[in-house]
Structure 1
């Protein structure tokens, strides 16, 4: 190799990092903002803050959590949709994002086109429970009772169009089109007095919320909406093993950024999210909240998951005539 070639290679070696640096998008100078469209102190907020704190160690700037509630998750989601596409703002949302389009036909943003999924953080199964006075102990007994008495019984939910409402309606659908009356409340805790009294004998709740009532024997478990039994509730069977084979449902947590955010920044946020979820201490804490942690998500797999959830829930919303206002 002659001297000219060697000098050329050396120059190329010096220029390449400069070109890569010039092409890489610059991070904003201010701290990154994680918008959580749910109230502070709630289950989504607790997990989001844990992840945000850990992400701060892997990103150029600290991640600050901002709770923006109102109109369901619409206000907080709109804030992110209209934020700069530079990695300074991202959305920490749930299954609520997948059903926005179906529940709110007139939105000031497009929940699909205006967002890029970054990482699926975890999935949380739910448990269907009944008051002991109902006299059933498993899925098939409950199905038989409801099939023999169409429209006679009520079920409670933590809110219209929420994860447990949708999951319960999916169960009625998969169990053969059962007719059960929906009574929405403002949160599971608001519903529980009527459920514990037996006035409304059926309720679905996220697993972590259900476990205390099961431990005290106040309610009876019918099944968990996961494909596997939960280590936190090993005695609660899945619906799959009880013969309702197509019924699996979760609420889930996902990180998204405004569409158009440069791919290198999306990848960096994805890597920081996975890194935040990897430590055993974090996994243990999230497993206490009955979350199935996903610590190897990619933007592509997160998008595929979101697309599948939209395709899954929109037909249920239409068939059950679910609207944002009930």
Structure 2
């Protein structure tokens, strides 16, 4: 073996021993493109930009946030599905777009197989609010009132079909034997206005809008989907403590996906960086500042299992209640 052959063989041998590690270390090779399926300024955008800030600190690469709203999140999702599977293009959306939303909207892809589930970025609990003059101030009183008036539905304002504010009252009916009836509005503002004005007595709402109304004495909070009492909703009781932990599935979560069939080394590299961000107390503190709880499913395996379970659960629920797509 001459000198050139010897050096070539040595190089191959050395590379073989470190190739998987080296491949993982190649991510990110350049700036990361973070596609957000919702408009600037909304809750998903706020969390995405917070995550991007901390991901930049962890990776040393810039993270470019690109909002691509509209179309029931389909355009943003397709953008990432069509991207190279090198982990340089990632999607931030609501988990519901891949679970209940995939059953409500006619999506031209399978969210379970056409995306790589990476992690949950944060969890957004909701609350059940009542008008301040409603004849009930607790879940127990609400249930008693409904059962005492079985032919009289209790209206609950909803800011859109397929949302927690729509499915939540129907889920509670199944659990508690009540007769709550969602009333669909074109957005959160008119729904909230009618709740405060007493046109409707109930509404399931997010913490960022619901808690200030409660603190101002304009509504009463009957329960939250936070697992235990929290400063995010000071003094408000939880569904869990009142015997309805199943209502916690109404909490939304912010989801991170990549393109289909990302190499395991790349998934591992992305996951390692993401988990560093999610475990950072400073990140969690900033999440709390916008009414968001720390994430639960932070590994690709756990998050993929969560998406599959929620996709199946909400699919069955939507079928059971007979919810149909318009048109």
Tell me which interval the TM-score lies in, with the shorter structure as reference length.
0.7 to 0.9
- The answer as to whether partners of 2:227 and 2:240 remain within 8 angstroms in 1 is yes
Distance of aligned partners of 1:267 and 1:28 in 2 relative to their CA distance in 1, 3 Å threshold: closer
How far does the alpha carbon of each residue in 1:160-188 deviate from its partner, in whole angstroms, 9 at most, with x for none? 11233233332222112x33332223432
Map of 1:255 onto structure 2 = 256
Map of 1:80 onto structure 2 = 80
Distance of aligned partners of 1:137 and 1:62 in 2 relative to their CA distance in 1, 3 Å threshold: same
Number of residue equivalences: 317
Map of 1:58 onto structure 2 = 58
C-alpha separation between the residues in 1 aligned to 2:123 and 2:300? Answer: 16
Distance of aligned partners of 1:296 and 1:57 in 2 relative to their CA distance in 1, 3 Å threshold: farther
Distance of aligned partners of 1:245 and 1:99 in 2 relative to their CA distance in 1, 3 Å threshold: closer
Q: How far off is 1:213 after superposition?
A: 0.4
Distance of aligned partners of 1:151 and 1:80 in 2 relative to their CA distance in 1, 3 Å threshold: farther
The 3-state SS of whatever aligns with 2:179 is coil
C-alpha separation between the residues in 2 aligned to 1:245 and 1:28? Answer: 40
Distance of aligned partners of 1:262 and 1:150 in 2 relative to their CA distance in 1, 3 Å threshold: farther
- The answer as to whether partners of 1:158 and 1:188 remain within 8 angstroms in 2 is yes
Q: How far off is 1:122 after superposition?
A: 1.9
Q: How far off is 1:154 after superposition?
A: 1.7
- TM-score normalised by the chain length of structure 1: 0.87
How far does the alpha carbon of each residue in 1:178-207 deviate from its partner, in whole angstroms, 9 at most, with x for none? 333322234322321111111012101122
Counterparts in 2 of 1:3-14, with a 5 A limit? Answer: 14=14
The 3-state SS of whatever aligns with 1:210 is helix
C-alpha separation between the residues in 1 aligned to 2:199 and 2:269? Answer: 51
C-alpha separation between the residues in 1 aligned to 2:186 and 2:216? Answer: 23
Map of 1:68 onto structure 2 = 68
- The answer as to whether partners of 1:169 and 1:316 remain within 8 angstroms in 2 is no
Distance of aligned partners of 1:62 and 1:70 in 2 relative to their CA distance in 1, 3 Å threshold: same
Map of 1:205 onto structure 2 = 205
Distance of aligned partners of 1:27 and 1:247 in 2 relative to their CA distance in 1, 3 Å threshold: closer
Map of 2:179 onto structure 1 = 179
Q: How far off is 1:217 after superposition?
A: 0.7
Map of 2:120 onto structure 1 = 120
Map of 2:100 onto structure 1 = 99
Determine whether 1:153 maps to 2:154.
yes
Map of 2:289 onto structure 1 = 288
The 3-state SS of whatever aligns with 1:292 is coil
C-alpha separation between the residues in 1 aligned to 2:176 and 2:170? Answer: 10
Map of 2:246 onto structure 1 = 246
C-alpha separation between the residues in 2 aligned to 1:139 and 1:289? Answer: 26
Moved over 6 A (4+): 10-13
Report which of the two has the higher share of helix.
2
Which blocks of at least 5 consecutive residues in structure 2 are unaligned? 1-9
Map of 2:135 onto structure 1 = 135
Counterparts in 2 of 1:31-46, with a 5 A limit? Answer: 31-46=31-46
- The answer as to whether partners of 2:120 and 2:254 remain within 8 angstroms in 1 is yes
Map of 1:162 onto structure 2 = 163
- TM-score normalised by the chain length of structure 2: 0.87
Q: How far off is 1:41 after superposition?
A: 0.2
How far does the alpha carbon of each residue in 1:251-293 deviate from its partner, in whole angstroms, 9 at most, with x for none? 0112111111111111222222222233332211111223221
Map of 1:312 onto structure 2 = 313
